[in-house]
Every structure is written in C-alpha cells, then in structure tokens.
Amino acid sequence: MVRTLLIAVVLLIVLTGCLYDSRELDHRSLIMGMAIEEGKEHLFSITIQLPVLTQGTETGTGPSAREFETFTAEADTLWDALSELESVTPSILFFGHMKTVMISEAVAKEHLPKVLDLLARESSVGSQVYLLVIEGSAKEFLQAESPLVSLPSLYVNRYFSSDQKLSRSQGVKLYEYRRDSNTISNVATLPLAKIEDNVIKIQGMAFFKNDHLVEKLQGNLVGLSELMKEDRLDFMNYTTVVEDHKVNLSRIKLTQDVDFDETNPVQFHLKIKGKGEVIAIDDINKMIDNELIDKINKKMEQEIKTDIEQLINKLQQKNIEPWLMGQRIWGLNPSYFNKLKWEEEGWKNAQFTVDVKFNITNTGQRDLFTKERKER
C-alpha cells in the first residue's frame, strides 16, 4: 500500500511538472511559416504566417474570409524582431507547428548563421521544418496564395512531401542541412524558389559553404546534382533533339556507381545507368523504330555525360563539393585524404571519367491505325 502511494505521488509530481507551459490552443499564436529578409530601416525583417482561428459554433468551426494572416516586424537582431511581433499578437508565439522557413537570397549570402542560431535556440522549432531560399521577396512568397493549397507554408510542405516528383527540387529539412554542412567539405544545399507571374515556383538549388550562399543551379543540373549525391535519381524529365525532331522523355531513372584511384590528383570514375520513356515527339507521324531509339539512346548518353561534366567543372571552379566525394575518401583512407589537401586544391584538381549507358523502355506508341498492308 505504501509503495503504491509513493508511486502515485511520484507520477503526480512528474506529470504536473510538465504543465508549467500548458496552454489552450486559442492562447497560442501558431506560426505555420516564417520569412526572413533584409529590412528597409533595420538589418532584418521577419514575417510570420498565422492561421485564422474562427469562433466555434454548434456545428463546428465557423467560416472565415481568409485562412491566414501575416505580420511583419523589423529590427537589427532576429530576436528583437520576434519580440516586436509578439507585441502585436493576442497570445504567445508558438513555433512547434512551423512547416517552413523562407530565407531571402540576400540574407542567405551573409546572415544564414544567425538564422540557424535562432532556430537552434528556440526549443519548440522542430528539426523537420523545411528551409528554402527565395529569389526576390521572402515576404511576398509567404503571402502568395495558391489555388490548390491556400496556406503557402502548407503548400511548400505538401510539395516536398509528394512522391514521384517530376524534375522537382528536393526538400531539405533543418536537420538535413545541419548534417550536410558538418561534412568534410562543409557544403550543404537548399532549394531555390520564387514567385513568377503570381505563381509559386520551386525549381532551383542553392549551394552553401560554411553557411554562406556561393552558387545556384537551375534546370537539369539540379536533378543531376541529386544523382551525384544520392547515387540515384527518379522521375526526371528531359528534352533532346534527334534527326531534327524534338523528343520529350519522362520517368527517367538514373543510378550511379562511384570508384576512385588513389592518385594525386584523385581520379574518380562515374558509371551511370539510365532508362526512360518517350512521352512526346514534335512530329506525331514519325515512327519511333529501333533505329531512332538507338539514336535517342546515344544522344541521351552524350547529353547526360556533357551535363555532368559541366556541373562538376562549375562547382570545381567555386571549390564547393556537395556530393560527399571527399567524405568517401576520408572515410576509407584518411592519410590519403590529407595528402590531397582537399580543402585547398584536392577537389579543384580532381579528375573524372564519366560513362553513361541509357535505354528507352517505352515509346508510348500503343496503337498504329495507319498501318499499310504489304504484299508477301
């Protein structure tokens, strides 16, 4: 009996100790998204996106003209800007439901360490929050409404959570950025986004070294960079020209094997295998026969090889290596890694051979209604 009472008292103390910060939902300002950019009068401008909580009714939640509101404040420190924001909201700011943090390109170039410090010190910020770099105004991006998902922060979250994405930038969560930036090369990536013709577009990739934005990619190079890092890429689109015909390919899948020779400079060997489907051709009367398929395969092999070599050269010139190449060497042979002087010249001088094999798996031509009968 005494033991039972003692256990009950201990549980009561533990449970009540967790209630010091307990609040009803309507006593919290639930931040769904946050935009950080340079201010007009102060160093920083922070905009927060809050869902509009409507008055409950007998049948449930009442209707609302808008599903979210945004509030903006400027200050010379991020914490002072947040304090200013809390003074104009009816309840305390709560970061536990935040989905995205949108960072302007200007802040990403110079002040990302301060943003990361802010997110690290606020214990309620989850490590699953998505980070984005915004070309243009981060505030305008946070305020943009999509006809598909009205809350921009939820739109971004759903965008990156979707499976089988076609030629999309990959989402990067807070913990993933921290993990990548702590590798040997101190390089990490974030997706690039912008508002164009009142439409949200997330297509590019930003590269960071020591938490400063140093390079950007667009187009096919974004997907190929994912291949270089993850050794696989699914559901990429591609357009090429064969026999003066524009050929569109879809559902492209690429895999990569990497090996290296312990020379100085290091010699990497990339063996890439790919497959895809012809989704369209500009001349619908053009028969995609075996001869044309062979030409498409050879053209794709050459173009993928050229694009990868261009991508490698672009990042070697900037001396940024986001694909864990140096990490592979360091993990297998630390002494050899040190001889290469990776940070100073090892990556910039690295040599590559790129071998690509590609096969069309489907042409999309299921029926041919204009077949001509041939005499035997």
User: pLDDT digits over 11-61, tens only?
Assistant: 444 444 444 444 454 556 788 899 999 999 999 999 998 887 665 544 444
DSSP, res 342:
I
Q: Which amino acid belongs to residue 365?
A: Q
Instruction: List 263's β-bridge partners, or say none.
Output: none
What six digits make up the tokens of 296?
Answer: 């498409």
Q: Which residue among 218, 233, 259 closes a domain?
A: 218
> Per the domain annotation, does 9 fall within a domain?
no
d(Cα 290, Cα 370) in Å, to the nearest integer?
A: 19
Are 189 and 264 members of one domain? no
Q: Please indicate, yes or no, whether residues 94 and 203 belong to a single structural domain of this protein.
A: yes
Q: For residues 222 and 200, is the Cβ–Cβ distance under 8 A? A: no
Tell me: do 139 and 231 sit in the same domain.
no
In this structure, how many other beta carbons lie within 10 angstroms of the beta carbon of residue 375?
Answer: 3
Residue 59 placed within a domain? no
State pLDDT tens for residues 71-106.
999 999 999 999 998 888 777 888 888 899 999 999
Burial of residue 276 (number of CB atoms within 10 Å: 0-12, 13-18, 19+): buried
- Same domain assignment for residues 39 and 129: yes
How many structural domains is the chain composed of? Answer: 2
Listing DSSP states for 115-168 in one string gives HHHHHHH-TTS-TT-EEEEEES-HHHHHHPPPSS-SSHHHHHHHHHH-SS-SSP
User: Does 324 fall in a domain?
Assistant: yes
Is 234 found in the same domain as 204?
no
Instruction: Name the nearest CA neighbour of 241 among 285, 291, 280.
Output: 280
Over the stretch 199-248, which tens digit does the pLDDT of each residue have?
A: 888 889 999 999 999 999 998 899 899 999 999 998 888 889 998 889 88
Q: Does this model's pTM top 0.75?
A: yes
Question: Which stretches does DSSP call E strand in the chain?
Answer: 28-30, 33-38, 44-51, 56-57, 60-61, 68-75, 92-94, 100-104, 130-135, 187-196, 199-209, 212-217, 232-242, 245-261, 267-281, 351-362
pLDDT score at 177:
95
Establish if 60 belongs to a structural domain: no
- The answer to whether residue 208 sits within a structural domain is yes
Nearest Cα to 95, choosing from 156, 168, 153?
A: 153
Q: What DSSP designation does 52 have?
A: P
Residue written as tokens 């020379």? Answer: 263
Considering the domain boundaries, does residue 308 fall inside one? yes
Same domain, 189 and 124: yes
- 358 in the same domain as 234: yes
**Domain boundary at 170, 199, 218, which?**
218
Of 166, 199, 218, the position where a domain reaches its end is: 218
| Residue 82 and residue 148 in one domain | yes
Same domain, 120 and 247: no
pLDDT band per the 50, 70, 90 thresholds, residue 342? very high
Torsion angle defined by CA atoms of residues 55, 57, 63 and 67, in that order, rounded to the nearest 10 degrees:
40
Residues 47 and 188 in one domain: yes
CATH number of 353's domain = 3.30.300.210
Percent of the residues in the chain that have a pLDDT greater than 70, as a whole number: 83
270 within a domain of the structure (yes/no): yes
Task: Give the pair of three-digit tokens for residue 16.
Answer: 């009540």
Token pair belonging to 67: 């599903």
Domain enclosing residue 89, as ranges? 27-53+66-218
Which of 43-47, 62-66, 358-362 is the least confident region?
A: 62-66
210 and 255 belong to one structural domain: no
Same-domain status, 335 and 248: yes
Whether 80 maps to a domain, the answer reads: yes
d(C-alpha 292, C-alpha 298), whole Å: 10
